[in-house]
Amino acid sequence: MIHSVKLRRDSAADFVSHYEYLCALQDSVPLPAVRASLREGVLDFNADRLRGLDWAPLLSTLKINKDLPLICIKSFFQPWLGETGSDRNKVYRSRVPAIRNKDVTFQLCKALKCCVSASGALRNLELNGLVLRERDLTMLTKGLNKSATLVHLCLANCPIGDGGLEIICQGIKNSITLKTVNFTGCNLTWQGADHMAKILKYQTIRRHEETWAESLRYRRPDLDCMAGLRRITLNCNTLIGDLGASAFAESLSEDLWLRALDLQQCGLTSEGAKALLKALETNRTLVVLDIRKNPLVDHSVMKSVIKKVLQNGRSAKSEYQWITSPSVKEPSKAARQKKRTIILGSGRKGKATIRIGLATKKPVGNGRKHSAGKECYAPEPLPPGVSGFLPWRTAERAKRNRGFPFIRARDVSSQLQQSEFPVTVTVESPSSSEIEEVDDSSESVQEEPEKISFKQEALQEKLEECLKQLKEERVIRLKADKRVSEPFMHTH
């Protein structure tokens, strides 16, 4: 066998070895950003980190590879955040990643077309944030038409628009394996939603034909095993509106195969939501219809839609779940446990300070922010004219020199007898990183009454001991203050 043919055949099953081999041929080092995920058997990297020269060995390897189950290429570059001044154009251009070059994106789509059409292992293809032009999508569609294993296609945050989506639809409408598509944030309008609705109608007609053919053989057709889309995600396309919702409602009324439709932040109003609700009267297979984050939809209508699809989901074992909203945070283990820390010691300049730190919970409910188990301690008043943690001698001399009224020792002693030697008690509020939002249904961790009473008794004993030490120290200081103030009294 010819050496080049053998090398190509071996390289199709070993992405890492062939990539390192091509990098060595051009005297370059394999990029850590690319190799990091290859240990797990997938290709997942940030395209913004690759220079122009780094793409050649990667694309050559990707073009012939047949063993990658997942390919994820992301870009987070935002040109409106760069240097746009006329005197900084050269600097700005040098910061633009190579993936923004139209030739690089075309070569990438060309390599993906070869990989998708020839691979027998590729199931997930995700392109996030890439600028894909018409010729790029046309090239990619040629591979989608020939794919025999692709199940999930994601073009999230790729500004393809309605025209680009129409090109993609031509490539996926006849796919026998593709089940889920994600076009989140792709600058789509109601026309893009109409393209997807037409795909549903087209696949519904084909499925009905297959069902009729199976019934002629006295067989019960298995709807779940038939080809076609099962989930469509169009979140964050605010121009879809009610026209797009009406287009989907018309298709869903007769569809028996689609399981999930995500329309978060799509500019829907109550009119579009009612059209979808009407379609659910005849549709019993849709288990997820997500119209959340559309503020113009009436709460009662949204509740009715969600209730209806939840009823559909009770009778069917569905693998399609609701997409978690980005604003909802999972409660961490640290937030579920209640922390109580007591630090007892002498503060600055002899003042005793007791700090009690409580890790509070911040449940979300009815728009009110409140903390559970928060204790507030108000410090006892200090003697008149005494400020903060200033040294007492400095404070006394400053008051005399600046015309403040002189505080006699007997006034201070009488004040101390009434106030029982004030002790400053402060509460340390938890940091923002420790406070996390949790659901109302989360259970708070409660301490046993015996432990709480034991801790209170221990704290009370330490507090009494501290007060006793303070009293003795204050008496000694008053005597010293009296001795120091006697020369000043004689001079005046």
DSSP string, 311-379: HHHHSS-----PPPPTT--PPPHHHHSPPEEEEEEE-GGG-EEEEEEE--BEE-BTTB---BT----PP
Task: Give the Cβ contact number of residue 411 at 10 Å.
Answer: 14
**CA of 63: how far to CAs of 67, 105, 134, 143, 316, in Å?**
12, 14, 21, 12, 41
What pLDDT is attached to residue 73?
A: 96
Q: Taking CA 426 as the corner, what is the angle to CA 420 and CA 427, rounded to the nearest 5 degrees? A: 140
Q: Are 219 and 168 in contact (CB under 8 A)?
A: no
What pLDDT is attached to residue 453?
A: 62
Q: Which helix (H) or strand (E) holds 23?
A: helix 15-25
d(CA 49, CA 61): 18
d(CA 263, CA 14): 40
d(CA 53, CA 167): 30
138 three-state secondary structure = helix
Residues facing 117 on adjacent strands = none
Tens of pLDDT along the chain (492 residues) come to 455 656 666 667 788 888 988 999 988 889 998 988 887 889 999 999 999 999 999 999 999 988 899 999 999 998 755 444 554 554 445 589 999 999 999 999 999 999 999 999 999 999 999 999 999 999 999 999 999 999 999 999 999 999 999 999 998 998 989 999 999 999 999 999 999 999 999 988 887 777 666 666 556 656 667 778 999 999 999 999 999 999 999 999 888 889 999 999 999 999 999 999 999 999 988 999 999 999 999 999 999 999 999 988 775 556 778 887 554 344 444 444 444 444 444 445 444 445 544 444 444 444 444 433 433 434 444 444 444 444 556 656 655 544 444 444 444 445 445 444 444 444 444 444 443 443 443 344 344 445 566 677 788 888 888 888 888 888 888 888 888 777 656 555
Contacts of 286 (CB under 8 A, 6+ apart): 252, 255, 258, 259, 260, 261, 280, 309, 312
Q: Taking CA 193 as the corner, what is the angle to CA 191 and CA 196, rounded to the nearest 5 degrees? A: 115
Backbone angles phi, psi at 222, to 5 degrees: -95, 105
**CA of 327: how far to CAs of 121, 197, 290, 366, 437, in Å?**
35, 29, 15, 16, 10
Contacts of 426 (CB under 8 A, 6+ apart): 353, 354, 355, 377, 379
Would you call 487 exposed, middle or buried from its count of C-beta atoms within 10 A (0-12, 13-18, 19+)?
exposed
